[in-house]
């Protein structure tokens, strides 16, 4: 099949798609290139959501099998439409995976780890279902620094409202740093743990292309924005526009960076 | 339902094997006495969504 046959089916966008989906989908290929996995592995995508990472796996990695697990039936319904019969999907939790021991060779999880309350329990489950010698790999947004699409919003919001600083994902998710990811993977008993940045450039033709998705209310920053009064919203918009697009007629670019981590499941002893 | 599915699918609680009940579209874990529904072809392997087996059910 052609390289983009699966992933192109997302082009029409929900608010989430316009907000984050369009950038997260572009991170997936860089992450998979870093993993550089051989063909014919059994892949498992934990927290597969609507299937953006799974689509990239089908496009690029020639898996012998692909399973996706997510707690949301709604997301999985969309994933089933996008991915078709090549992916086996089931509703499930990362901390109680409904899969047999050693049932995959390559376990991946995209932009999910920081949302799991018990990361060590999830990593223990991931290790259980991954075969000895297999790998576990994940990536999360660099909320604290170079996920600028979100960070720049919070910088402006926090300058106006001290409460907003508390909601900034960079503060809420200390796991989203290379040292913390490395430590979490090593603590779960994985070998050869490594991290790397994966970054794409988000180009916005005008300020509205950046701003409109925040009005969709999906995600912490948009939800915060929609909880403000019309006046407060207008103030945030004016300050952001001045900071990001001082020349109204021209586009601008922001970084969207994720931290990726990988580790190897030790051989059985 | 894809026959490959049951090969690796286990109860998320006890990690034991499941019985496929075609008519009911359920996956049953006898030790846990839970029936996991299959909705729109996707097994829902969450404890909160599972049906407790009745006392007389096998």
Which string of DSSP letters, residue by residue, matches B22-49?
TTTTEEEETTTTEEEEEETTEEB--GGG
Identify whether the C-beta of residue A63 lies closer than 8 Å to the C-beta of residue A88. no
Residue A154 included in any domain: yes
For residue A218, CA distances in Å to A16, A53, A167, A227, A232 come to: 6, 20, 14, 12, 19
ipTM: 0.92
Highest mean pLDDT among A70-74, A184-188, A250-254: A184-188
Calculate the average pLDDT of chain A. Answer: 91
pTM of the predicted structure, to 2 decimals:
0.91
Question: How many domains, chain A?
Answer: 1
Q: Does B37 touch chain A (CB under 8 A)?
A: no
Residue A52 included in any domain: yes
In this prediction, residues A185-202 reach a mean pLDDT of 97
pLDDT in tens, A3-50: 334 443 343 447 777 888 889 999 999 999 999 999 999 999 999 998
Axis-axis angle for helices A73-83, A52-60 (nearest 10): 30
| Min Cα–Cα distance to chain B from A93, Å | 7
Identify whether the C-beta of residue A73 lies closer than 8 Å to the C-beta of residue B39. yes
Looking at residue A51, the DSSP 8-state letter turns out to be S
Residue A1 included in any domain: no
> What is the pLDDT, as a whole number, of residue A7?
40
> What is the pLDDT, as a whole number, of residue A170?
85
Chain B, nearest residue to A76 by Cα: B42
Q: Does B15 touch chain A (CB under 8 A)?
A: yes
The partner residue sitting opposite B8, judged by closest CB among A77, A80, A103, is: A103
- Show the domain range for A52: 13-264
- CATH fold, domain B3-52, is N-terminal domain of TfIIb (2.20.25)
- Say if residue A117 is exposed, middle or buried (CB neighbours under 10 Å; 0-12, 13-18, 19+): exposed
pLDDT in tens, B1-58: 566 667 789 999 999 999 999 999 999 999 999 999 999 989 999 999 999 999 888 7
Tell me the CATH number at A244. 3.40.50.150
In this prediction, residues A241-264 reach a mean pLDDT of 93
Lowest mean pLDDT among A132-136, A219-223, B17-21: A219-223
């Amino acid at each position: 099949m052609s390289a983009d046959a699966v992933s192109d089916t997302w082009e029409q966008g929900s608010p989430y798609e316009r907000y984050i989906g369009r950038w997260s989908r572009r991170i997936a290929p860089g992450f998979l290139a870093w993993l550089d996995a051989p063909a014919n592995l059994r892949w498992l995508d934990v927290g597969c959501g609507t299937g953006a990472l799974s689509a990239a796996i089908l496009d690029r990695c020639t898996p012998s099998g692909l399973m996706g697990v997510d707690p949301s039936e709604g997301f999985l319904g969309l994933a089933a439409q996008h991915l078709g019969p090549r992916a086996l999907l089931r509703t499930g939790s990362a901390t109680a995976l409904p899969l047999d021991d050693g049932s995959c060779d390559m376990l991946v999880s995209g932009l999910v780890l920081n949302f799991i309350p018990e990361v060590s329990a999830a990593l223990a489950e991931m290790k259980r279902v991954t075969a000895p010698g297999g790998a576990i790999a994940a990536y999360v947004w660099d909320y604290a620094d170079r996920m600028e699409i979100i960070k720049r919003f919070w910088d402006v919001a926090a300058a106006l409202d001290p409460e907003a600083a508390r909601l900034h994902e960079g503060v809420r998710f200390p796991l989203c740093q290379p040292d913390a990811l490395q430590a979490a993977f090593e603590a779960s008993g994985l070998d050869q743990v490594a991290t790397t940045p994966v970054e794409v450039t988000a180009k916005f033709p005008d300020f509205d292309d950046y701003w409109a998705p925040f009005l969709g209310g999906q995600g912490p920053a948009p939800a915060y924005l929609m909880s403000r009064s019309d006046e407060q919203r207008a103030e945030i918009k004016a300050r952001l526009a001045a900071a990001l697009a001082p020349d109204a007629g021209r586009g601008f670019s922001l970084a969207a960076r994720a931290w990726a981590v990988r580790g190897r499941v030790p051989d059985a002893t | 339902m894809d026959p490959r599915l049951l090969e690796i699918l286990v109860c998320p609680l006890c990690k034991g094997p499941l019985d496929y009940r075609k008519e009911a579209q359920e996956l049953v874990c006898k030790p846990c006495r839970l029936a996991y529904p299959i909705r729109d072809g996707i097994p829902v392997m969450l404890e909160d969504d599972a049906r407790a087996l009745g006392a007389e059910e096998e």
